A and B are shown apart, each in its own frame.
Chain A
Amino acid sequence: MVLNDQDYQLIAEIQGGLPLCSHPYAEIGQRIGLDEATVIERIQAMVDSGVIKRLGIVVRHHELGYTANAMVVWDVPDQRLDEVGEKLGSLDCITLCYQRPRRLPDWPYNLFCMIHGQERGKVLGYIDQLVSSQGLDDIPHKVLFSGRRFKQRGARYQ
């Protein structure tokens, strides 16, 4: 979809969150001079076109007890990338799965996925299990657990 100035205003207005009141879209409209029907129509169009990936709750994994947050990186031969990426993406415990560029010679890994769990031991056990069940023994991987988290916020748009 082509976004107009009004859309960008709407995008900026709701980026921090929807108002928690019984007519949130009317409330947003009031702030930026649009009627409720227009706000609903534009937000729906953004969801339909994928400008808004999801509308709803964004959780804080850490505060929900998911403190073992592992980034698992794989050095996958290029010709197997799609096969392995699709396999990993389909597993329940994996919350993101991306191809990214290698940064040779320092960084050989080209497939990244995230696993959130409550304990490191369990997450590692799960990774061992998926390596053997998915036939990934010959693909080098590394597990990078997160330590301190310095900053977490959504991207800002103006």
Chain B
Amino acid sequence: MTEALDAIDRAILNRYQGDFPICSRPYQEAAQTLGISEEELIKRLQRMLENRQLSRFGPMYHAERLGGGLSLCAMRIPEAQFDKVADQVNAFPEVAHNYARDHRFNMWFVLATETPERIDSVLQEIEQQTGFPVYNMPKKKEFFIGLKFEV
């Protein structure tokens, strides 16, 4: 970790992973519930963004409701070719994130496309470029989860 979080940082993180106010001065309203000033809240968010402890501060969209496509995909890549294939896959702007995992299926990435139809064509392009099959595992059902990631 780049820099330790103090109690106020944690309170901000635990309170505002959702439900950020939508009003004229939202930082002021949020700061009030946290017992700090608007200016301090803004400064702390800025610092945590710069330290890359936060990925973003803003909306998380529901891709399907925006009319886009979203899917989790997996590949089995021999170790010796892994880095090369990872570069090829990551070069696609539709690849939102990509993790190596310790399994025969060792590459897992999320595809986010502007239309649902585009998922299949990107998959085909990835298969053609890399020479390996892509296993497409789109979400069929989402089970309810509490919102927060507590720090």
- SS class, residues of chain B in contact with chain A: mixed
Q: Tell me, in angstroms, the Cα distance from A144 to B104 when the chains sit together.
A: 10
Q: Tell me, in angstroms, the Cα distance from A65 to B23 when the chains sit together.
A: 33
Q: Tell me, in angstroms, the Cα distance from A49 to B96 when the chains sit together.
A: 24
Check B137–A144 contact: CB distance below 8 A.
no
Q: Tell me, in angstroms, the Cα distance from A153 to B139 when the chains sit together.
A: 19
Q: How many residues of chain A are within 8 Å of chain B by beta carbon?
A: 75
Q: Tell me, in angstroms, the Cα distance from A88 to B76 when the chains sit together.
A: 27
Please encode chain B, from 1 to 29, with 1 for each CB lying within 8 Å of some chain A CB and 0 for all others: 11001000000110011111011111110
Please encode chain A, from 17 to 43, with 1 for each CB lying within 8 Å of some chain B CB and 0 for all others: 110111111100000000010001001
Please encode chain B, from 52 to 80, with 1 for each CB lying within 8 Å of some chain A CB and 0 for all others: 11111111111101111010101010000
CB distance from B147 to the nearest CB of A (A): 7
CB < 8 Å A-B pair total: 230
Q: How many residues of chain B are within 8 Å of chain A by beta carbon?
A: 74
Instruction: Tell whether A92 is near chain B: CB-to-CB under 8 Å.
Output: yes
Q: Please give, as numbers and ranges, the residues of chain A lying within 8 Å of B99 by CB-CB distance.
A: 69, 146-150
Check B58–A14 contact: CB distance below 8 A.
yes
Interface centre among A14, A142, A155 (most CB of B within 10 A): A155
Check B62–A17 contact: CB distance below 8 A.
no
Chain A to chain B contacts (Cβ below 8 Å), 14 pairs: A18-B57, A20-B42, A20-B45, A21-B42, A43-B22, A56-B20, A57-B57, A58-B17, A64-B1, A116-B149, A147-B102, A149-B99, A150-B86, A151-B98
